[in-house]
Amino acid sequence: MRVRTFIKERMVLLLFLAFIFIMILFKPSFVSLTNIKNVLIDASIYGVSALAMTIAIITGAFDLSLSSNFAWAQIFFCFMLNAWGSSGLGILGAFLAMLCTTTLIGVINGLVIVLGKIPAFIATLGMSTIVKGFCLVFTSGDMIATSNTFVERMGKGTFLGISYLTYIFAAIVVVAWYVMKNTTYGRSLYATGGNATAAALAGINVRLCQFSTFAILGLAAGISGAMFVCQMRAGSVLYGTDLALTCVAATVVGGTPLTGGKGSVLRTVLGVLLIYVLYKGLAFLGLQGYYNTMIRGLVLLVVVSFDAFMTRKGR
């Protein structure tokens, strides 16, 4: 019985594992150290945002403005680094200033959604357009690069053969896991997502919970953006447009249903890793450009439809 519930809940995950297994069987050279390291780095950057998206989905909301917020984070971080980046304190200041702005975007999202009582996806879609427009106005559509040495070291540096960025991700995973599992706050997020009315009756400040997840999303977009800048040493509105959808896909693949109230951040770590193994695998098979894009879209389509179908049947 337990096996059956497991299979039912984690069907998407099993399908993914099967796919990867088949791919490795046909192309054993895919399993190389460089590939694994690259997957880890990419997964770390998007993973931070995916964790926040998971928290939001558990609380019963999601954020489509994450991509734009992420783009803004890169752009503004590069801009600030170029302005202040000569000293250690300046770099810290640039980082904190950037985090403040991205969190502010999240806070505005939260305020609009909680106070205006409008659906999260519409509000965040509108916000996404606003932030994108703002990024374009700020940069006139150009890429903005930085040659900061500290950032370069962060991006290239490794400890025991693993990138610093992966350690940062791991640390954030531990924090997120602890908060969601062992604190009153984490549990009230689960309660809010499971049944907001019941949670409110139980004395949980539902609106504060919902509001806080959007602030967390903004913060995470900022951290992801900073990590991305370490990797690319540039920021542009064109980078990371698929972030929000990849995060939703990673969450669902990991086994957190879109219905809310269930799931865990640890599952998402697995989900984001699997998604990146798949993406890398597709590129490895020679699918480039728009075919790659098409398959990413199909993956999301299948994963979300499947999840919706399974959760519907369960009720």
Partner 1 sequence: MKGVSNDAGRKVVGFLREWGMILLILVITAVATMIRPVFLSGRNILNILRSYSTIGIASIGMAYTIIGGGMDLSIGSTISLSAVVTMLIINATSNVAERVCSPYAAVLVLFVGIAIGAAVGLVNGAIIAVVNGRMGESFIITFAMQIVVGAMAQAVVKGQFQAAAYKSGLFKEFGVGVVPVIFFLVVAAIMQLILTRTQFGRNLYFLGANMKAAKMAGIRVGQVRTISHVLCGMCAGLAGVLVVSRVNSASVLQGQGYELDAMACVAIGGVSLAGGDGSILKTILGVLVLGFLLTALNILSVQSNAQLIVRGVVIIAAVILDTVNKKAKLREVRK
For binding to partner 1 (CB under 8 A), which residues are involved? 62, 64, 112, 116-119, 121-123, 125-134, 136-137, 140-141, 242, 245, 248, 258, 289-291, 293-294, 296-298, 300-301, 304-305, 308-309, 312
Beta strands of the chain (E only): which ranges?
A: 144-145, 158-159, 162-163, 234-235
Residue linked to tokens 């879609």: 125
Q: Which is nearer to partner 1, 91 or 252 (CB)?
A: 252
| Shortest CB 199 distance to partner 1, Å | 19
Shortest separation between residue 273's beta carbon and partner 1, angstroms = 21
Output 179 or 258, the one with its CB closest to partner 1: 258
Residue 264 DSSP symbol: -
The pairing of strands 162-163 and 158-159 is antiparallel
Residues found in the chain:
315
Between 62 and 228, name the residue whose CB sits nearer to partner 1.
62
Q: Which is nearer to partner 1, 4 or 117 (CB)?
A: 117
Shortest distance in whole angstroms from residue 237 CB to partner 1 = 10
CB of 112 to partner 1, least distance (A): 6
* Long-range contacts formed by 264-267: CB under 8 A, 24+ apart: 264/54, 264/177, 264/180, 264/181, 265/51, 265/54, 265/55, 265/173, 265/176, 265/177, 265/180, 266/173, 266/177, 267/54
Please state the closest distance from residue 286 (CB atom) to partner 1, in A.
15
Residue whose tokens read 């490795």:
24
Work out how close the CB of 24 gets to partner 1 at its nearest, in angstroms, rounded to a whole number. 26
Smallest separation, CB 37 to partner 1 (Å): 28
Q: Which is nearer to partner 1, 84 or 121 (CB)?
A: 121
CA 72/CA 267 separation, integer angstroms: 28
Q: How far apart are CA 284 and CA 59, in angstroms?
A: 36
Question: Cβ closer to partner 1: 36 or 308?
Answer: 308
State whether residue 235 is helix, strand or coil: strand
Q: What is the DSSP string of 11-35?
A: HHHHHHHHHHHHHHHH-GGG--HHH
R_g (Cα) of the chain, nearest Å: 19
Give the nearer residue to partner 1 in terms of CB position, either 158 or 305: 305
Report, in Å, the least distance between residue 260 CB and partner 1. Answer: 9
Return the number of the residue (10 or 296) whose C-beta is nearest partner 1.
296
Q: Collapsing DSSP states into helix, strand and coil, what is residue 128?
A: helix
Provide the token pair at 299: 């993956």
